[in-house]
Each structure stands twice: as structure tokens, then as C-alpha cells.
Amino acid sequence: MNTPGLHPATLILGGTFDPVHFGHLRAAAELYEQLQVDDFRMLPAGQPPHRGRTQASASDRLHMLKLALRAHPGIRLDDCEIRREGPSYMIDTLRQLRAAIGARRPLLLALGQDAANQLARWHRWQELPQLAHLAIMTRPDNPPAYQGELAAVLQPRCIADSEQLWSLPAGLVLHLPITELAISSTDIRAQIAAGRDPAFLLPASVLAYIREQGLYQAG
């Protein structure tokens, strides 16, 4: 891609996005601002292995994210996990992306500190740093809490300067402070089911689609 002024690297931010909201979008905007990569993708999970079934279908979640990203031209939608059959294991996603972008291009996986602290529960998690850098989104009330094998794998890879990311394709861990907005998809779904109005928690276009399709209604 090689857009002038941006780092030639691929950054991915996954999630169920059930539905996508301003918390997701603000985090993505700050990641883009801090890392300045020329290929930033948001990936809705197809069949998330670490939680129950999503309430909205994969096609609805994909459409909502597509609507939300219209105002963010620097971020694009990637539906590779939805198109792939079986559980959406991140190790498979990274292998698929690495095969597509080549062995030398930096690949970054963004994830929240909560997820990073539980990374040892992920399928074949030890292989993730072999395929990508980890960009871990932190906040003051939830510091890194790596223990045992997870600490042994992640801590020696930690860096303080993002410039180090661009000379290697994978293998480093960078902690980035990100503004946390007290918004959750669970709460938005509960508000809709209760007949309340979740306006200003998610893009108006996404809320209009939810109402049009009757998503998250009680019963």
C-alpha cells in the first residue's frame, strides 16, 4: 500500500462489535493517531471461541461496522473471520493475514489490557508474537498483570518506543494508553431490549439500522 507519511504496516483490531459503538471507534481512532499505519483493519469475529453466540448475525454485525466506518476513511473493514468456517481463532487469522501481506511487512494485533492479561487462555497463544507485534491498549485502572508463562513470553518483548516496531515484522509488545469510554455493547443491547434510547452511544446510522432490522428487541 505504502501511503506517503504513513508507516507501511498492517494493524488489526478485532471484536464481536455486537453492536459497534463509540468506545470501539474512539479506541480505533487513537490507535490510528498513535501508530500511523497505512493499512488499518477492523475485523468482526465470525464465531468467537471465548464467549457465547452473538445476538446479531454475522451479516448484521458486518453491515453495522460498515456503516460506522464510513466516517473513518483511514480504517477499513476486513471480513476474513466471518468468511472463514469454524471458530474465529486469532492464530488462524494472523496466519491468513501473514500469508497475504508477506513475511517482511510489520503486522500488529491490537487488543485491550483485559484480553492481554488473559492471553494464556487463547488457542496457541504462544505463537502469536511469531506472527505479529502486540499493541496493547491500556488504561490507568487496569495495569498489566502477566503471570507465569505469559509473563515469561511477553515481558522480554516489551518496548517503550513505537519506532522499534517498523524494523521488524513481528515479535514486540507495545503498551499504548487509550481513552476509555464507559460504553458497552451489553449495555446498549439491554437498553434497546428495555425500550430505552441508546442515542449518542453509537453512530446514528448504526442505531437506525438496528431499529430498521428490529435487532436486540426483547423476546
Q: Where do the DSSP E strands lie in the chain? A: 7-15, 37-44, 75-77, 107-112, 133-138, 158-159, 173-177
Residues 6+ apart with CB under 8 A from 25: 68, 72, 203
Indicate whether 218 belongs to any domain: no
Query: Residue 74 maps to which CATH number?
Result: 3.40.50.620
pLDDT at position 172, please? 98
In the block, which residue shows the cell 458497552?
184
Indicate whether 1 belongs to any domain: no
Overall domain count for the chain: 1
Q: Chunked in runs of 10, what are the mean pLDDT values of the chain (219 residues)?
A: 82 97 97 97 86 86 97 95 89 97 98 96 96 95 92 97 97 95 96 97 98 92
Closest CA to 127 of 90, 85, 158: 90
pTM score of the predicted model = 0.94
pLDDT at position 107, please? 98
Indicate whether 183 belongs to any domain: yes
Indicate whether 68 belongs to any domain: yes
CB 107 within 8 A of CB 135: no
Indicate whether 67 belongs to any domain: yes
pLDDT at position 79, please? 96
pLDDT at position 71, please? 92
Domain that holds residue 179: 7-213
Indicate whether 108 belongs to any domain: yes
Indicate whether 2 belongs to any domain: no
pLDDT at position 2, please? 60
pLDDT at position 46, please? 85
Indicate whether 219 belongs to any domain: no
**CA-to-CA separations, 194 to 10, 112, 113, 210, 219, in angstroms, rounded:** 40, 29, 31, 14, 11
